[in-house]
Amino acid sequence: MRISVKAPAKINLTLDVLFKRPDSYHEVEMVMTTVDLADRVDLMLIEKDEINLDCSASFVPDDVRNHAYKAAMLLKERYGVKQGVHIYIDKQIPVAAGLAGGSSDAAATLRGLNRLWNLGLSLDELAEVAAEIGSDVPFCVYGGTALARGRGEKLKHLAAPPPCWVVLAKPPIGVSTAEVYGNLRADQIKEHPPTEKMLQAIGQQDFGLMARSLGNVLEEVTLPRYPQVRQIKELMLESGADGVLMSGSGPTVYALVQKEAKVYRIYNALRGFVKDVYAVRILGEAELEVLA
Ligand code: ATP
């Protein structure tokens, strides 16, 4: 038996760091939403009682370092599952890009194996396992749009943001999330994002307010180090984007665009500059369907 599960990327509409905690994690506050750029995770029952994994991107680890592998391992251990699984990841989301690709693969694996192994777990129960894998994984279990606090695992679900286009561009560099957080001085942040305004924009379906309320404190670390990230932001604005922001710890930058006519102008301007450019829609609502 085999099933396929969609694993969408996320973007941060806001990302704030409130303080550094005694356990050395950062206390964050962020609004996240899923976009229609997704990996596909295929799960297949196998004879042997083991987990094995293949990924279409050869540089992604295929062992326990892979978040999807870890998800299967944790679920298997916690619920005493005696069946094996083969995991195949068709990678479409750029890696180490600030789009939670690995986290979303893990979340899709949890949702899919819940079905394949007949575990009957709720999304809340899956989110508990997810928190052991990484801070963004619980959000990815539910998908949709949420305000995340704590390390990212305390979630308040939100309505879908006003519909719009998202043009994503990733410069050819990989950024380590741990390194970016490590270089952030939480007590010296110059500008915190207007999280309350973002929540208001979503509540009132006000696209203009949403585009004006984007903010990510990690730009203070990543922008000075990688000039390309700033250049992409500027190019997007010059080409008519309504709002631009770096997602997560970067280096992917996205533009929010309301009018379809502008999307291809921005897309084409960026294609002359970087290879990895995508024009997609905000999903907004949770899309957790098993594909086949
Ligand atoms: P996040 O926002 O969750 O930190 P990201 O978009 O910054 O995610 P990922 O694409 O998840 O970054 O990759 C981060 C690292 O995790 C990579 O360097 C990769 O080696 C490792 N990794 C583990 N599992 C996966 C996976 N399934 N897909 C991609 N990378 C993975």
Which domains, ranges and CATH numbers included, belong to the chain?
A: 2-159 (3.30.230.10), 165-281 (3.30.70.890)
54 is catalytic: no
| Given 6, 136, 170, 242, the catalytic residue | 136
Count of CA atoms in the C-beta half-sphere (13 A) of 188: 5
Give yes or no for residue 103 CB within 6 A of ligand 1: yes
The protein residue whose alpha carbon is closest to atom 9 in ligand 1 is 96
Task: Tell which atom from ligand 1 comes closest to the C-alpha of 93.
Answer: 10
Q: For residue 175, what pLDDT is reported?
A: 86
Q: For CA atoms 275, 279, 282, 287, give the dihedral sign.
A: negative
Give yes or no for residue 201 CB within 6 A of ligand 1: no
Count of CA atoms in the C-beta half-sphere (13 A) of 151: 16
Per-residue pLDDT 10s for the chain (292 aa) are 899 999 999 999 999 999 999 998 999 999 999 999 999 999 999 999 999 999 999 999 999 999 999 999 999 999 999 999 999 999 999 999 999 999 999 999 999 999 999 999 999 999 999 999 999 999 999 999 999 999 999 999 999 999 999 999 999 998 888 999 999 999 999 999 999 999 999 999 999 999 999 999 999 999 999 999 999 999 999 999 999 999 999 999 999 999 999 999 999 999 989 999 999 999 877 766 555 5
Beta bridge partners of 154: 149
Q: For residue 288, what pLDDT is reported?
A: 62
95 CA to centre of ligand 1 in angstroms: 6
Beta bridge partners of 6: 40
Give yes or no for residue 101 CB within 6 A of ligand 1: yes
Give yes or no for residue 100 CB within 6 A of ligand 1: yes
276 is catalytic: no
Give CA separation, 185 vs 18, 99, 175, 189, in Å: 11, 23, 18, 7
Q: For residue 289, what pLDDT is reported?
A: 58
